[in-house]
Amino acid sequence: MKRTAISLADGRELIYFDERDDAVRDQPDRRPLPPPPPASQLRYDPLTDEWVALAVHRQTRTFLPPADQCPLCPSTADRLSEIPAPEYAVAVFGNRFPALSERVVAEPAAITPFTAARPGQGRCEVVCFTDDHDASFAALPPSRVRTVLDALADRTTVLGKLPGVEQVFCFENRGVEIGVTLHHPHGQIYAYPFITPRTRSLLDAARRHAERTGGGNLYADVLAAERATGERVVAANQHWTAYVPAAARWPFEVHLAPHRTVPDLPALTDAERDAFGPLYLDLLRRFDGLFDTPMPYIAAWHQAPVRVERELGHLHLQLFSVRRAADKLKYLAGSESAMGVFINDIAPERAAELLRAV
């Protein structure tokens, strides 16, 4: 893999991850761009002990443009995009409308004696999986999945070293039902200046388990139990297992986890990275085959924090969809949105059975 970094017209970094060593990436960004927006503001919610980002500049971000105006397609002589090159394999660049950024211009004052405020310092990046606007992740070859995985590992390492970054989150949103604003196959990376609520919850449970068991890793033990029963396992290979969690929140939810306990993507071996692609592609195609239509989904990489309690983590990918039937979506209503108590309409065992049957 060849890695080439350039600067876009407004100073944001773009990195090409090429599968050819002879790729030349010297095309300049010729757009007249305004300066990037300043960092958003984080406000502390004392009632939940959580931070909320206020990124008002994102209200004007690009929203479902037609294909001939897609900002993630390669540039042409007639249309300049975020990617100056006429073609590419995988490209990663700083989000033009970031929820978090390093462009801190001022320290905000507290909102109330109980509600602190701080700059939304961090970074948000866009990961383009292919230059083919009409493709999908499920249509990529395993070799391209490996390139994407290597790019995510690279960015996890680099972003994790930035001052103040506590957690790196890589993910893909697919489908208008999920809320995507660009159809081009792409994912995102958030480098947070705090540990997210979901990860804090996972760490708390893992810490209690380690104390009870004399150092056991909770996720590794749960994975071993799922592999032993096999009832909710959808697919597996030598290095990875895909299974429906016994207490799945979403109608169709699968965890894809390495058998070896590792904290994050950079810790994966070459063999583990190679084995991931074929299994993940199989899983995505099963999702699409459930109702013979492209499945809306979120694919979320759970990684250990970059600075603390890394021994409690266990890297895994959470893949889930809001679609519960061919013509029905799951909406987060009162119990889920207000109380955080999920109600699932499909038994995890049945979901695993349906996915295995595709």
Is 239 part of any known ligand binding site? no
Residue 153 has phi, psi (to 5 degrees) of -65, -40
**Is 73 annotated as a binding-site member?**
yes
Per the CB < 8 A criterion, the answer to whether 211 and 154 are in contact is no
Annotated ligand binding at 128? The verdict is no
What's the Cα-to-Cα distance from 252 to each of 143, 207, 214, 286, rounded to whole Å?
Answer: 27, 28, 34, 11
Strand stretches in the chain, DSSP E? 2-7, 13-18, 40-45, 50-54, 90-94, 117-120, 123-128, 167-174, 186-192, 233-236, 240-243, 252-258, 297-302, 316-321, 323-325, 328-329
Is residue 186 annotated as a catalytic residue, yes or no?
yes
- Marked catalytic residue, from 186, 209, 255, 314: 186
Binding residue per annotation — 314? no
CA 183 vs CA 3, 62, 134, 200: distances in Å: 25, 11, 8, 32
Contact 347, 353 (CB under 8 A): no
Binding residues: 70, 73, 133, 184
Binding residues for Zn(2+): 70, 73, 133, 184
**What are the catalytic residues?**
186
